Structure 1
Amino acid sequence: MASSAASRAQEAAADALDRRVRPILDQVDLRNYKQAVKLADAAIKKYGDHPLYRTVKAMALERMGRKQEALDLVTDVRSGPLNEHLLGMMQPIYRNLGRYDEATKGYEKFAAEDPQNPERQIQLFNAYAREYDYLKQQQVAMKLFKQLGREQFLMWAVCTLELQALAEQGGPTGGGARMLQLAEALLRKKMGLARLEGLESLLVFLSILELQHKHAAALELIQGPAGALFTLPADKARVEGELQHKLGHYKESAAAFASVLRISPDDWAAFQAYVDALLEYREVPAQTVEAAVASDAPETVTALEADNSWMGPGKRTRLSFDEVERRLGEAHDLVAELQAVVVQSGELLRGLFLAKVELEKRRAESGEQAGGATQGQRRVAEAIVKYFDRHGTMVSFAPDVRQHVLFITDPGVAGWLAAQLQQAAERSAAAPDCKPVHALRRRIAAAQVEEQLGLVQQLPDAELYARAERLAEVYQASVPLLHGVAPRERGPAEELLVMAATCLVEGYVRTGERARLLEAILVLEQGLFDRRWQSEYKLMLVSLYLHAGAVGPALGWYRLLDIKHIQAETMAHHVLPALLASAQRDAAAGLLRELAAFHDGHLRDGADMTLTAYRNGTFSKVREFVRFKERLERSHQRLAARTESLLLRLAEAADNPTEAQALLADVGFGREPLAWSTSDRLAALSFNEDLATRPWWTPTPEQSLLDAAPLAGGAARQPWHAQEAQSARVARDARWRRSVRRRCLLPRLLALTLDLGPVSAAQAGPPAAEQATHSERGPAAKASDKSGRGKGKKKSGNKSGDVETAAGEKREPAPTSNGAAGQKRETAPREHGGENGCTAAHGSPQSPVDEMRQLVDEYARTLRPDTHAGNAPDAGPSSPGGAQPLDELSLAVFTTSLRIMEARDVLAGSGTSTEGAAQAAAALPAHFQSILARLHGLDETLAGQLFSDLPTAGASLRLLSPGRALPQLATLVHEAAAWLLLALHSWARVFPASLKRKKKTGTEDDGSADARTLAVHALQSLVSGVEAVFRSWADRLTQYLAQADVHALAAALKAELSPTETGGPSSQAGRVLTALQSWSRERQVAIMQTREQSRGGGEEENDEAVLVLDLEAVLRASLESSSEVLEQIRTASLLKANLFKKLNV
C-alpha cells in the first residue's frame, strides 16, 4: 500500500510538473521566445529552481541567439541530478550550439551512475557516435556485447573498428591494419560459436576482408554456409563474380555473371562485368587510381590510361585478336539465347539488345582486324542501326548509345550512320501503323546521334541556321501531342529546342553576332513558356543570361530549378562564381548562406543517419554515411564558400580599416584560412560539382567559348559531347586547388598589410594588432575585444553568415580526418610551418617581413605555377601577364606592401636603416607607378570591350554580349579596389614624419629624405590616379544610364531579330522564333489544356495574347537587369572615388 501510494504521488508530481512546463514549451513552439523566458522565470520563482524549468529557458535563449547564456545555463543544469527526460531536452540545445562534447559529458555522468544499465550505455554509445569518437564507441559496444551477448552489439564494435581503420592515415595501413585484423578475429570467433544472424553482418565481414585484400577468404566465406544469408541468388552470384575477377579466375567470374544475367537479363552492369571477365581485363586496385588522381600528376594518370591492364576508358585486353573473337562469340551466343527468352515473354528490355552494340565496340577496341579501325567502327555503326530499329522510339536511345557513338571517329562511318538513321526514321514514319509520337521520337533520336557524331558542328553557317529553323518547325508541329501530358512529365519533343538553341549558340561562337545569342535565349524562353518544368532549358538559360550580363533573369531561372539538399553542393557552380564576380553581392551572400546552412546542418545532424543504421541493423550503411560526411567536410565548394563569405565582408569594410581588422581578428588575423587550405587539406579536397549538367560551351565555371566569340578562323575545338579525359580532370582539379589557396591567402596578406606602421624593423615580432591573438584565443578573450567590434558584428551578420565570428557564436574547426583512436576534432592550429604558415622551419615565429615575403611568393606561384619559390616577381610593368589581370593587380598591391615593410626604417627616418631597406625605399615610386599602370591598362581594356561610343544604341546593345568585361569591371570596383583602398589606408600611416616635415633635420641622411619625398609624391600620384579612374567609370556609367531608354533598346533588339531580306549577315535572324510562333488553333488548345492541368482547373483562357511569349518583354527584362548591374557598379565606383579622394596622403 505504501509503495502504491508513493507511486501515485510521484505520478501526480510528474503531471503537475508537466502542466507547468507545457505552457512554456507551447510558447517555444510558437516562436514567442521572450514570453517563454518570462514564463520560465516565473515558474522558477514560484515553484522553485527545478532543472526542467531552467532547461526549457535555455532552449528559448538558444533560439533567441543568446547562445552563451544558453550554454552556461544548460551546463549548470548538467552539474545536478540527471534523468533520461532531462538529457533528451538538453540534447537539441547542445546540438544547435554545436557542442556535442558537452552533451556527451552529460551522458557519461548519467551512465556512470548505473554502469550495468544497458539503456544508459546505448545512449552513451549514441553520444560518442555524434562526436565520431570511434574508439569510445568500440569500448561501449564491447561492454554491451559482453553484458548481453547480442550480435547487434558485436557488429557495432566491428563497424567502429572498420571506421578506425579507414580513418588511420586515410586508409587501412599501419594501425588500421591491426584494427581490421581485430574485427576479423571477432567475427570469426562469433562464427565459431554460432552462424551470423543476418545478411548485413555478412556484408560487413566481406568488407573487412576486402579491405585487407583477402579475396580468397571472402570467396570461401560466401561459398560456405554463410552464403545462405543472401536472400537473392543474383546478389550472391554478383559478389562471387567480383571476387573471382579480383583473384584472376576469369572463367569462373564470367560464369558467375552469366548466371546473374539469366536471372536479371537487363542488368547492364552485370553484362559489362561478364564481358570484362571473358576478355580478361585485369583490375588495378582502386587506391592506385585514387592516389594518382590525388597526386595532381597528369602524367601518372596518363600512364594509367595507356596501360592496357587498367579498367578504364579505352581499356584493352592482352588476349590475341583470334582469342577475343572466339570469346566474343560465346558472349553473342549467350545474348542471343537471352534475347529469345525476352522476346517470347514480351518484356520491353533494352540491355540485351544494346549488348550487341557493346560487343562490337569491344571487338573494335581489342586489336587489329581486317579492314583496320574503319571496319571496326563500321560494325559498331551497323549494330547501332539495328538497335535503332527496335528501340529508336525511346527517349533513352541517344543516352544509351552515346558512348558507342563517340567511339566512331571516322568521318565516312559517321556520315553513313547519320544517313542510315535518318532513312530508318523516315521509313518508320511512312508506315501506316506508325503512331505520330513514335515517328517524332525516331526523328529526334536520329538528330541527336547526328549531333553526337560532331556532324552538326561541321555544318556551314547557313546550313546550321537552317537546321535550327527545321527543328523549331518540327517542335511547333508537335505541340498538339502535349495533350494529356502532365506539366512535370517529359514532353515528346523537348529535345528539339535544346538542339535548336545549340545551333544558334554555335553560330554565335563562330560569328559573334549578337542576334544569334539573343535568339537562342528567346527560343529557350519560348520552350519554358510551354514546358515550365524543363530543367535543361533553365540551365542553358542561366548560362546565356549570365554571359549577357542579365544576372536577375539567370538567378530567377536558377531558383525555379528548386535546388534542395545535396544539390546546393553539386549545382551551385552554375551561378555562384558568376554572382561573386558580379555586382550582385547580396545575392551572392544569400547563396553562400544557403551553402553554409546545408553544410552546417549536415555536419550537425548527419550522425543521426549513422545512428539509424546502427539501430536498424543496416550495418553496411554505417561506413557509407560516415564517408559521405567526411566527403562533405573535405568539399571544395565548402572551402570556397567559407573563404568567399569572409572576403565579401572584408570588401564591404574597405572604408573602415578598424572594422576590417575586427573581421580578420575573428579568423586569427587570416591564419585560420591558411589552416583551412594547407597542402594536406588541399590534396584531400573532394570536388562534388556536377559538371555534367553544364552546357557544352562552358565545361567549367571559368571556361566559356562565348567569351571568345567570334573564334578566329573557326578555331578547332573538341566536339560538343566529348568526354573530359582523366588527365584533364586532374589538371582542372589542380587549377581549382591553386585558386582556392590563392583566395585563402588574401585574409592574411590583408592583415599584414593593415598592420603596417612607422616602426623599426629591429622590432620584429608579431604585429601590434595581433599581440592579444598570436596564441590561441578563447571565447572570453574574444568577448573582451572592444575596438570597433560591435559595429563590425552588426554589419557583417547581415551578409553571408558563413564565417564564424562573435563570442558566443560557434566556431567550427577546420575539417580534419578522424584518427584511428577516435580522438575528438580539435580547432585548427593558428600557426603553421612550411609553405602554409607563419612559423619558420626551425619552429621559431617568423617576423612579419619574412612572413609577408613568403606569402607574396606563394601568391605569385598560384598565379604562375612555373614560378619557383623565392623568385616572386616585383609585379612591375614588365611582369608576365599569364594570370587574370585583377589577380595581377592584387599581387602588385601586396608586393608593394612587402617593399614598404622592408623599407620601414628609411620611411620612418630612424637613422638605423640597412642597405636593403634603402634599396626598397628607392624602388617604391616604381611600385606605385606599376599599380597605376596596371589599373590604367584594365581601364582601357574594359572600356573598349563594353563601350565603343556613347550613348548610341549600337554601343548599348553590346551590353547583352559583354563576355568577361562586365564581371571583371564589377570585381575591379568591388574587390580589387577594396584591397587597394585598405592598403592605401595602411601605407599612408607609414609616412607620418615625412608628411609633416617641412625641411630635413641634421640627423637625417639626405638620401633617406629624398627617398621618402619621392615615395610620398608617387603615393600621392597613385591616389589621384586611382580616384580619376573610378570617377571616370562613375561618369561614363552615369551618362549612359541617364540617356539609355530600355524600352527603345528592347524594341531595337526585337527589330534586329526580325527576318530581313537584305542578304546581310543577319538576314536569317529571327526565323527560328518565327517558326516557333506560327501559332495554330491546335497549339493554343494543347497549351491551354496542359495549363489547366497544372492549375487543377479554373477559368478558361481564350485570349490568344496570353499564349504568345512577349519577346519584347523578355528583352526588356534582360536590359533592365543589365542596367541594374551597371547602376550598382556606378554607385560603387562613385563611392570608391570619393573614398580615395578623402585619403590623407
Structure 2
Amino acid sequence: MAGRGHVDVSERRLRPIYDALDASNNKKAIQEADKVLRKQKDLICAKALKAIALLRSSRRQEALLLAAEVAAQEPIEEATLQALTICYREMERGDLVARIYENAVKKVPQSEEFLSHLFMAYVRLGEYKKQQQTGMALYKVAPKNPYYFWSVMSIVMQALTTEDEKLSQKMFLPLAERMVEKMAKDTKIEAEAEVRLYLMILEKQKKYQDALEVVVGPLGNKLISEIELQSLKQAELYVQLEDWPKANAKYRKLLLTNPDNWLWYIHYFNSLFHLVDSGWTPSEADEGSSDDVVTGTVDMAIAFVEERVEEELKNGKRLQRGPFLARMELLKRLTERGNQEAADKIGLPADLLKDYFIKFGDKPCCFMDMRPYVSMLNPDNHAQFVEELQTYTEIPDEKTGDVSLPADVQAMQRHICCVGLARSLGLQEQLTEGDREELVQDLTRRHQHGLQFGKDLLPTDVQPSDSYLLMAVHIKYAVYMKTKKLGLLFELIVMLEKGVASSPSNAQYKLILIKLYILLGAFHPCKKLYDNMEIKHIQQDTLGYFYACYAVALGHLTPACSILSAMLKFFSANHKDTTEYIIAAYKYGSFHKIPEIISFRERLNLSHNYSALAVERMILDFIMETTNPEQMRELLDYMEISPEKDEIKWDLLKDNRDLTVLSSWEPKERELTDQHIELSFCQDRQWLRLRSLILRSLAAVILMSQPAPLDGEHSPQKQDASRNGEAPVEHGNTLTSLILDINTHVQEVEGQAGSENMSLLCGPPPTRMKVYLDGQHHVLLTSIFQVAVDVHSLETTDLNQSQELQEKIAKNFDCILKTFEYVLDSMDTSIASPGCPPQVYPHVLEGLVLLVETLCLMTLVTSQCHVMLKPMKATLTKKKRKKKNPTVVVPQVFDNFKTFVDSLVQFGEKLHTRLTEVNTVITAVDVSGLEIDPAEKEAISVETVWNKVKESYQISAGETSEVLKQKLQLLRTIRL
C-alpha cells in the first residue's frame, strides 16, 4: 500500500506539468517541474518533462543536457521513457530514442513492451539488421506470428537495400525464404499478409514456379483482401513464367467476371499475340466450353471480344466501356501487325469509332477514349468522319435552319467531343483567320449557354461547359504565339478570369492564367490563384514548377521566401511522415507496402524540385538576410554548406513534374513528347548545377575569409578534419576548382544546340539560363570569385613581392567594371512602351532582377575580400609607423580595391535609378486602346487585368530596390 501511495503522489505531482504542456504553456511547465523537483529531487520523469518544455521554449542545448542526465540513469519507468522519447523525437534524434530502449531492454530483457518499442525505434532509423535481431528476441519472449514476420521483413529489407546484389540473392533472400518455409511446414502461417510476404520473397528471387505453387496451394486461399486476388496472382505469375496459354486462359476467365477491367484486356491481348507468334495451336480440350479455355487464335479472340460486347448490350443496364474499347484495341493491334483479313472481321475503324461515340459520346471521357484510335482513320476522311459525328449532336432549328444550342448536358458533351476530335485530327489547322475567330466566338457562346446546366452545382464542382472555353483559349493562344500581339494575351486572360468567376474550382483555368500572367511578367496575381487551388502535400512537388521558380525570377522576393519555405516544409516532413506509415505497415502486417513507401520516400528525397528549391532558398537568404560578413558566416554555419562536397546526387535526380495536368486537344505533331520532357529536364538540371556551383563558391569565399575555427562553432568539415587528424580544407583551392567548374559548365551549355521553343500551353516552363548567359552574369561572378582567391593568396605573400598578383587582381577589377557597364548599357530598353498599341517587355524585368541579384552577390564577396585585406592594411600601417618612414610604398591593391568599391556603388545607384523609373513607365501605359473582342470587354474590364499587372511590376521594382539599397549601404561601409 505504501508503494502504491508513492506512485499516486508522483502522478498527482506530475499532473500540472502534463496539463501545462498540453496547453502549450511551456513557461508554466518549467515552473511546475522545478516545483516538483524541489520536493522530490529523484523524480526523473519531472526532469524529462522539463526537458520537453525547455525544447519547446527554444532552449535546445539545455533540453539536450537535461535529457542526457535522465537517460544516463537508464530509466525503466514507462512515463519517463515516453517523455524522453517525445523529447528526442522533437529534436529529431532517433538514435537517442533507440539508446534509451536498448538500456531498458538490458535491465528487463523479457519485456515485450520494451522490445517492441526498441524495434520501432530501429524502424525509424532504418537499422534493418538490428530490427531483425530485435524481432527474433521479441518472438522468443512472446511467440506471436507478427513478431516473427517483423524479423523476416527486416531481412527482406536488408536484401532490397544492399548494393551487393550477390549478397541479396545468395544470403538474405534465401534466409528469409527458409524462415517462412519453416512456418509454412509447421502450419503456423495465419494471415494473408504473411502469405504475401512469402510471395514477395519468392518473386524477388525470380522463383515464380515456387510462388505459383504457393498461390494454388492451401496458403493461396488466404488471399482474400481483394476480389479475385488469388486468380489475379496466378495470372501475373503465368506471365512471369511466360506460360502464355495459362496466362491467356486465366485473364480470359477474369474478364468473364469483370469485363470492364482495362488492364486485364491488355494482358489478355499480349498473351494472345505471344501465342500467335509462337504458332501455338489449341487442343480439343482448349476448344471446349470450360472457363479455362485458351483463346490462342485471332479468330477466337475476336469471337470472345464480340461476345463481351453482345453480353454488355443484352444487360440493358448502364453500358460499361471496357468491351467496346477492347474491340477497338484489338482492331488497332491487328492493323499494326498487318493482319488486315482478321481486322476486317471486326469492322471498319470509322464504324467502330462512330458506334462508340453513339454509345458514350455524352461522357466527358469519350474524347480521351477515342483519341488513341483515330490514327486508324484515313487522313483523307477525317473531315467526313467528324461531320458524320456532328449529325448526332447538331439539331437544326426548324424555323431558321441554323444549328440550335444543345438542350441538355449529354448533347453538349457530344459536341465537345466532336470539337476536340476535329482539333486533334488537325482540321482546325486548315481554317482561315476569319473562320478560326468565328469558331472561338461559337465556343465562347456555347460555354455561356452551357452554364445553365450547372446552376445547381456546388461551388467545388466544375461546370460541364468549361471545356468549350478551354478549347477556345488553346486556339487563341496558338494565334498569340505566332503574332505576339499584346491584345490577344489580354483577351485570353479576360476570357479565363471570366471563366474562373463562373467556375471557381476549375484548376485548369487557374493554371493557364498563371502561365499567361507570367508571360506578362506579373507574378502577384499568380499567388492568389495558386493559393485558391489549395495545393497540398505531393502536389507541392508535382505542380510546384508552375509557380515557385517565378517568384524569384520576377522580383517578388519576400513572397518567394514564404513560398519556398512552405514547399520545402513538405519535403522536410516527408521522412517523418513516411516513417510513421512504415511503422503502421509493420503493426498491421502490410509488409508488401513497406518497399513501396520507402521507394516513394526516396523519390521525394531525390526530387529535382527539392534540390532546386533548397538552392534557390539559400541564395535568397544570403541576398536578403545578410548585411555584414558576420551575418554571412552565421547563416553559412546554419545552412551547413560544404563547398568541397557536392551534396546533390545528379545521376539519381527524379523529374516529378506532372506535365499532363492540363487538358490538350493538339494534333499529334504538336503533342508534348517524351523527348521534349527529357530536354526540358536536362535544361533544368543544367540551371540547377550552375546555381549550386555559385552557392558553393560563395560558401567557399566566406570560409576562406575567416580565421581558424574556435570552440567548434564553425563548419562541420573543419571539425571533422581536426577530429580525424586530417589537414584542414584549403578553401582557396576549392574555390579555384569551383570557378573552373562554372566556366566548363557554361561552355558546355553554350555549345549545345538551341532547344526547340515549346509554345504549347501544356509545355514545361523554360529556365533562366538564356537570360543569365546573355547578361554575362557568369563572367561577373567568376571574376569576383577569382578576385577573392587572389586576395586570399596575398595573405601568405609578401606584399612588396606580389606585384604580379596585384596586377591580376587589378585586371579582374577592370574586367568586372567593363562587363557591368556593358550589361547596363545593353539593358537600356524600357520595361514598357506606352505607345499605341502599348507593349510590355517582361524579359527586361527579368534581366533587371538578375542584375540586382548578381550585384548583391558581388557585394557579399567584396565584403569578404575587405575582411581579408583589412588586416594586411593594418599590419602595413603599423610597420610604417614603427619605422617612421613616410616613403614606404603602399601596395596598389588597396587603391584599386577602393576604386572598385566606389565604381560598384555608382553602378548600383544607376541600377537603383532604373528600378525607380519602372513605376513611372508602367503607370504611363494605357491599355484602353488595345484591340479586344467587345464581348470580352463587357465581361471583365481589361483595365482590371492591367491594374493587377501594374501592381505586380511595382512590387517587383519596390522589393528589388529595397534589397539593392541594403547592399549599397554595405558597400558604402567598406573602407580600408
Please indicate the TM-score interval, normalised by the length of the shorter structure: 0.7 to 0.9
* Residue 379 of structure 1, CA deviation: 5.2
Structure 1 residue runs without a partner (length 5+):
1-5, 282-316, 698-716, 756-766, 774-779, 786-804, 806-826, 833-838, 869-880, 1002-1008, 1058-1065, 1078-1107
Match among 858, 862, 877 for residue 984 of structure 1: 862
Q: Output the amino acid matched with 1:143.
A: A
Match among 335, 355, 363 for residue 364 of structure 1: 335
1-side partners of 2:895 and 2:378: how far apart?
67
2-side partners of 1:220 and 1:380: how far apart?
43
* Residue 514 of structure 1, CA deviation: 0.9
Contact 2:697 2:785 in 1 (8 A): no
* Residue 829 of structure 1, CA deviation: 10
Which residue of structure 2 lines up, in the alignment, with residue 69 of structure 1? 62
Which residue of structure 2 lines up, in the alignment, with residue 935 of structure 1? 820
Give the alignment's TM-score, normalised by structure 2: 0.86
Taking only aligned residues, the RMSD between alpha carbons, in angstroms, comes to 4.0
Match among 894, 909, 922 for residue 1031 of structure 1: 909
Which residue of structure 2 lines up, in the alignment, with residue 836 of structure 1? none
Write the mapping of 1:618-629 to structure 2, written as runs, cut at 5 A.
618-629=590-601
* Residue 749 of structure 1, CA deviation: 1.0
Match among 950, 955, 960 for residue 1124 of structure 1: 955
* Residue 511 of structure 1, CA deviation: 0.7
Aligned: 1:746 with 2:694: yes
Which residue of structure 1 lines up, in the alignment, with residue 760 of structure 2? none
1-side partners of 2:263 and 2:152: how far apart?
30
* Residue 73 of structure 1, CA deviation: 1.8
Write the mapping of 1:245-644 to structure 2, written as runs, cut at 5 A.
245-280=239-274, 327-345=297-315, 346-367=317-338, 380=349, 382-405=351-374, 407=375, 411-426=379-394, 436-456=408-428, 459-644=431-616
Which residue of structure 2 lines up, in the alignment, with residue 771 of structure 1? 708
Which residue of structure 2 lines up, in the alignment, with residue 861 of structure 1? 744
2-side partners of 1:1012 and 1:460: how far apart?
74
Q: Output the amino acid matched with 1:487.
A: P
Contact 1:360 1:376 in 2 (8 A): no
Q: Residues 686 and 1011 from structure 1, CA distance in 2 versus in 1: closer, same or farther, beyond 3 angstroms?
A: farther
Equivalent position SS for 1:492: coil
Q: Output the amino acid matched with 2:248.
A: A
Structure 2 residue runs without a partner (length 5+):
283-294, 752-768, 881-887
Contact 2:67 2:84 in 1 (8 A): yes
Contact 2:443 2:469 in 1 (8 A): yes
Equivalent position SS for 1:693: coil
Equivalent position SS for 1:692: coil
Aligned: 1:55 with 2:23: no
Count of matched residue positions in the alignment of Structure 1 and Structure 2: 927
Q: Residues 10 and 1011 from structure 1, CA distance in 2 versus in 1: closer, same or farther, beyond 3 angstroms?
A: closer
* Residue 156 of structure 1, CA deviation: 0.9
Write the mapping of 1:1095-1134 to structure 2, written as runs, cut at 5 A.
1109=940, 1112-1134=943-965
Aligned: 1:966 with 2:829: no
* Residue 985 of structure 1, CA deviation: 2.8
Match among 656, 672, 675 for residue 688 of structure 1: 656
2-side partners of 1:116 and 1:1140: how far apart?
68
Which residue of structure 1 lines up, in the alignment, with residue 684 of structure 2? 736
Match among 764, 770, 777 for residue 889 of structure 1: 777
Equivalent position SS for 1:964: helix
Deviates more, 1:642-651 or 1:1129-1138: 1129-1138
1:52-93 per-position Cα deviation (integer Å, ceiling 9, x unaligned) = 222222222222222222222222222333222322233222
1-side partners of 2:867 and 2:202: how far apart?
66
Which residue of structure 1 lines up, in the alignment, with residue 765 of structure 2? none
Which residue of structure 2 lines up, in the alignment, with residue 851 of structure 1? 734
1:735-780 per-position Cα deviation (integer Å, ceiling 9, x unaligned) = 433433333323331133346xxxxxxxxxxx4626328xxxxxx7
* Residue 267 of structure 1, CA deviation: 0.7
1:826-845 per-position Cα deviation (integer Å, ceiling 9, x unaligned) = x999999xxxxxx9xxx977
Q: Residues 41 and 905 from structure 1, CA distance in 2 versus in 1: closer, same or farther, beyond 3 angstroms?
A: closer
* Residue 371 of structure 1, CA deviation: 15
2-side partners of 1:671 and 1:54: how far apart?
41
Deviates more, 1:104-113 or 1:658-667: 658-667
Equivalent position SS for 1:771: coil
1-side partners of 2:903 and 2:266: how far apart?
66
Q: Residues 582 and 670 from structure 1, CA distance in 2 versus in 1: closer, same or farther, beyond 3 angstroms?
A: farther
Q: Residues 652 and 409 from structure 1, CA distance in 2 versus in 1: closer, same or farther, beyond 3 angstroms?
A: farther
1:521-562 per-position Cα deviation (integer Å, ceiling 9, x unaligned) = 111111111111111111111222222222221011100111
1-side partners of 2:896 and 2:434: how far apart?
57
Deviates more, 1:202-211 or 1:189-198: 189-198
Q: Residues 253 and 541 from structure 1, CA distance in 2 versus in 1: closer, same or farther, beyond 3 angstroms?
A: same
Deviates more, 1:1036-1045 or 1:242-251: 1036-1045
2-side partners of 1:326 and 1:131: how far apart?
52
Contact 2:173 2:205 in 1 (8 A): yes
Q: Residues 891 and 453 from structure 1, CA distance in 2 versus in 1: closer, same or farther, beyond 3 angstroms?
A: farther
Match among 625, 632, 644 for residue 660 of structure 1: 632
* Residue 1027 of structure 1, CA deviation: 3.7
* Residue 1025 of structure 1, CA deviation: 5.0
* Residue 441 of structure 1, CA deviation: 0.7
1-side partners of 2:669 and 2:18: how far apart?
59
Q: Output the amino acid matched with 1:53.
A: A
Equivalent position SS for 2:706: helix
2-side partners of 1:968 and 1:461: how far apart?
35
* Residue 218 of structure 1, CA deviation: 1.8
1:1085-1138 per-position Cα deviation (integer Å, ceiling 9, x unaligned) = xxxxxxxxxxxxxxxxxxxxxxx6555434323322222222223334444455
2-side partners of 1:1031 and 1:332: how far apart?
78
Q: Residues 617 and 976 from structure 1, CA distance in 2 versus in 1: closer, same or farther, beyond 3 angstroms?
A: same
Q: Output the amino acid matched with 1:35.
A: K
1:138-178 per-position Cα deviation (integer Å, ceiling 9, x unaligned) = 11112223444332222211211111111112x84434642
Contact 1:553 1:1117 in 2 (8 A): yes
Q: Output the amino acid matched with 1:96.
A: E
Aligned: 1:29 with 2:22: yes
Q: Output the amino acid matched with 1:425.
A: T
2-side partners of 1:106 and 1:646: how far apart?
36
1-side partners of 2:100 and 2:788: how far apart?
54
Match among 760, 774, 786 for residue 898 of structure 1: 786
Q: Percent identity?
A: 23
Equivalent position SS for 1:265: coil
Match among 161, 168, 175 for residue 167 of structure 1: 161
2-side partners of 1:183 and 1:945: how far apart?
71
Which residue of structure 2 lines up, in the alignment, with residue 777 of structure 1? none
Which residue of structure 2 lines up, in the alignment, with residue 242 of structure 1? 236
Contact 1:899 1:924 in 2 (8 A): yes
Match among 765, 781, 792 for residue 712 of structure 2: 781
Q: Residues 739 and 828 from structure 1, CA distance in 2 versus in 1: closer, same or farther, beyond 3 angstroms?
A: farther
* Residue 856 of structure 1, CA deviation: 1.6
1-side partners of 2:957 and 2:613: how far apart?
25
Deviates more, 1:893-902 or 1:188-197: 893-902
Contact 2:37 2:43 in 1 (8 A): yes
Equivalent position SS for 1:490: coil
2-side partners of 1:550 and 1:866: how far apart?
28
Which residue of structure 1 lines up, in the alignment, with residue 759 of structure 2? none
Equivalent position SS for 1:425: coil
Match among 196, 199, 204 for residue 189 of structure 2: 196
Match among 662, 670, 676 for residue 642 of structure 2: 670
Aligned: 1:722 with 2:671: yes
Give the alignment's TM-score, normalised by structure 1: 0.74
1:3-46 per-position Cα deviation (integer Å, ceiling 9, x unaligned) = xxx2xx55544444333333332222222221222222222224
* Residue 370 of structure 1, CA deviation: 9.2
